[in-house]
Structures are given as structure tokens and as C-alpha cells.
Amino acid sequence: MPAHAPAPHTPVPHAAAPDAPIAPAQPQAASRRGFAPWLAQTNDVTSVFLAAGQIPDLINLGGGLPEPSLWPVEELADLAAAVIRSHPAEALGYGPIPGLPALRDLIAARCSTANLRLTRDNVLITTGGMQALELVGKVLLQPGGTVAAQSPAYLGALDAWRPHVPRYRPMRIERNDHDPRAAMQGAQFAYTVPNFSNPSGRLVSLPERQALVAAAHETGTWLIEDDPYGVLYYEGAPLPRLLDLSAAGHPGPYAGPVVYMGSLSKELTPGLRIGWVVAAPAMIAALATAKQGSDMCTSGLSQMLALRALEGGMTERIRPAILSLYRARRDALCAAMREHLAGDLDWQVPSGGMFVWATARDPRLDTDRLLQVGLAHGVCISPSSVFDPQGQDRRSLRINFTLNPPEALEEGCRRLARAIRATLAAAE
Ligand SMILES: Cc1ncc(COP(=O)(O)O)c(C=O)c1O
């Protein structure tokens, strides 16, 4: 799932009419015999989204998809034909488990700075950032293990680690009394999305970054820096990565506790499924061992395309168009929210990324319920319960602004305002 949505055990609606009846919940997968117990803890995100996709004229503010018109389709098609002809063994055969050496070298060079020396041994190519998350769970999570996770947390990460049934220790990094050392002590790893977090859209400040890195070094806890949105700053200079802060004062090849994850999904296309991990060589070797039992290797064709696209500067060429379109859509959404939703919701305008996180002013607004009422009004949002490992936060929602043009964002906000009123009326 990209940055998707909906809620645990959510019934699937029949149709778009505001007062359409809501169908009973789909049977849970785990109620059928033979499935592993963790499946009983999954939510019905996929079935709700499949059903939502069939609702005519639905405005989907719940997903986390990029705008497809930004993809350089013709250029990629030409490159694909060229690399299959010129490098059939690399493009069409099995490749090395950690990734094509030339692509690992390129990522190492791209992520290096004056103070951070990276080599191929610091890099693993993954099948999307999602696989990096899954592999970290495989190599670090032991039964009954604890994950200290920035809260609210990315649903895809929670999904990736669900089979290990971890305990979660929420990290509310923005709170003055947050103690990262206490959160990380004894945890198997800490998970953060410092740039424009999914779902909260929040940018972790420099002092907060410094405190996280210091705590990881002091406690010896692996610190995951999941960074698919670091290329989507709409204003302000990018803050140093946790990886940079961790390397400062430690000259020599990187061997610290930060496990950095990048992806081409937001700066090129998600369908290539190219991601990477930058970490200490020992971590890269462990992740490669886990990757062998996962997919043997990431698609050679995708890796060759990524290599040629990055070498040729394709991502730099399309970046200005991506940033200006998404910035304009963020502004359009926030203007429409001010117009239609200011009485109902509180939010902060994000300075990058793909999401606005909003919290209900009225505590009686249950956003799980709002998801369903919203679908009946022709608008889809992501309720906060799916980003809470305990599934208990029902006061907030995530709104995506990258997929829809301004008119649809405005109409989506109008519908959402009506759905909020209907949800609150039913709660009285
Ligand atoms: C925080 C975060 N991490 C990882 C991913 C995975 O992205 P991909 O597998 O497309 O690289 C996403 C996708 O939306 C995300 O939001």
C-alpha cells in the first residue's frame, strides 16, 4: 500500500448515496482455518479501498498516491527498451542479492557528504521502501520485542511488522517532555519518519533530530530513518538527515546506529519499486541475508532503469514540476479547509510531503465512523485509528493533497464538512 487508509473491521458501503445502507463487515481472513494468528489483528483497509474504488465520483483524499501525469513515461519507455537490448543479462536475469553493484555505488555516492563517507558495502537495493521495512522486522524483531515508534506511525510499517506481533512504545517527539533515551532503552529498534511524516506531515526539528541521534548512540539502539518524503520540501532548506548527524564526529566509513531508507517512489515512479537502505555494513549484510529469503533480488530491469535515470539526471529534471504542482495542491487544500472545515478541525500546514493531519475539535467525532459516512457522501479519508498500533486514536484524520486537482480538493472538503455534520448528528 502506498500511504493508504481505512479502519479496523470497517464495513464496506454499497454505494455513494448519502443515506445508502452500509453492508455488514466482510468475514475476517483469519476466521478461515489454517491462517497464522496475526492475521486476526489486521484491519480491512484493502477491502474498504477496493470497495471505495468502485464508488462512482468518489473523491479519494484517503490514499497517498503521486500524480501520474508527472511520470516521464516516454523517456522511461525508451530507456527500458534500450537497457533490455544493451544489458539483457542484468535486466532480465537474476542479479546479486544486495543489488546491482553500479546502482549501489551510485546510491552510495549520492548519499555521501563531506562528512559522511559511504561505499557500496553501506548500501542495499530493495524492492521499494516497503521491503526495507519488512527486512528490518525480519532481522531485528524477536518474540515479544519492542519497537519505539514515532506516533502516529506509518500504516505500511505497522503492516510489515504485524507478523512479529511487536509491542509498541509510542514516541511523541514533538512533546517537551519526550525522552528519546527512555523510549529507546531496551527497544529492538526505533522508527521515525523525520521529513513530513506519514501520516502527520510533521517535520522533526533539528534539536529533536539531535536528541534522537544522541539517544541512539547512547543506548546502542538501531534508529530507522524512513525518508521517502525528503525530496518533497516545498519551502525552507532541507534539515540534516539523522544519518548525517550520526556520522558527525565519527570519521571513517559509516558504522553507526542509523538505518536510512530512501525510495524512488515519490521522486520518479512508485511502480519501479526501487528503494534502498544505507547503514553500517553489518546491518546491510544481515538485511541481504533476509532479502534472499524474501525475493532473491530486486527486478534487474527496474534497477537498470533506476541506474540510467539517475545517471542521466532524470529525477533532477522532473523535480521542479513535482514540487510546484504539489505545493499548489497543498495550498489549494489548505485554503479549502480554511473555508469549509475551520469550525470542525484543527491542523497545521505542512512544509512538504503529501499529507495534512487534522484533529477534530469536538471529541465526539469518531473518525472511523467518519470514514464510512464520508464514503456515503462521496469522499474518502484515512482515520487515525489505522496509524495507532493500538487502534485507539479516533480523533484525527489524514488528508492527501497530491492526487487531486484543486477543484476536486475543494469539493472533497465540502463533502467532508457535510459528512462531519452527519457523523456528529448521529452521535448526539
Ligand atoms: C513513510 C513511508 N515509508 C515507506 C513507504 C513505502 O514506499 P515505497 O515502497 O513505494 O518505496 C511509504 C509509502 O507511502 C511511506 O509513506
pLDDT digits (tens, 9 = 90+) for 298-321: 999 999 999 999 999 999 999 999
Distance between CA atoms of residues 42 and 28, nearest Å: 9
pLDDT digits (tens, 9 = 90+) for 97-115: 999 999 999 999 999 999 9
DSSP string covering 404-415: S-HHHHHHHHHH
Closest ligand 1 atom to Cα of 263: 11
Give the model's pLDDT for residue 14: 32
Closest ligand 1 atom to Cα of 154: 1
pTM: 0.92
Domain ranges of the chain: 29-66+317-427, 94-312
pLDDT band at 3 (very low <50, low <70, confident <90, very high): very low
| Residue 357: strand, helix, or coil | strand
For the chain, the first-to-last Cα distance in angstroms comes to 35
Is 17 a residue whose pLDDT tops 80?
no
pLDDT band at 51 (very low <50, low <70, confident <90, very high): confident
Is 13 a residue whose pLDDT tops 60?
no
Is 25 a residue whose pLDDT tops 80?
no
Ligand 1: distance of its center to the CA of 80 in Å?
24
Give the model's pLDDT for residue 45: 58
Ligand 1: distance of its center to the CA of 85 in Å?
31
Cα-Cα-Cα-Cα dihedral sign, residues 329, 332, 338, 344: negative
Name the CATH superfamily, with its identifier, for domain 29-66+317-427: Aspartate Aminotransferase, domain 1 (3.90.1150.10)
Give the model's pLDDT for residue 49: 66
Closest ligand 1 atom to Cα of 133: 4
pLDDT digits (tens, 9 = 90+) for 156-182: 999 999 999 999 999 999 999 999 999
In sequence order, the 6+-apart residues with CB closer than 8 A to the CB of 113 are 244, 247
Pocket test for ligand 1, best of 158, 195, 203, 226 (most atoms within 8 A of CB): 226
Ligand 1: distance of its center to the CA of 158 in Å?
12
Closest ligand 1 atom to Cα of 127: 9
Ligand 1: distance of its center to the CA of 138 in Å?
18
C-alpha cell read off for 325: 504542482
Distance between CA atoms of residues 197 and 420, nearest Å: 25
pLDDT band at 46 (very low <50, low <70, confident <90, very high): low
Ligand 1: distance of its center to the CA of 363 in Å?
30
DSSP string covering 131-189: HHHHHHHHHH--TT-EEEEESS--HHHHHHHGGG--EEEEE-TTSTT--HHHHHTT-SE
CB < 8 Å & 24+ apart, contacts of 28-33: none
Q: Which residues of 364-390 are buried (b: 16+ CB within 10 A; e: fewer)?
A: ebbbbbbbbbbbbbbbbbbbbbbbbbe
Q: Do domains 29-66+317-427 and 94-312 have the same CATH topology?
A: no
pLDDT digits (tens, 9 = 90+) for 258-286: 999 999 999 999 999 999 999 999 999 99
The CATH architecture to which 94-312 belongs is 3-Layer(aba) Sandwich (3.40)
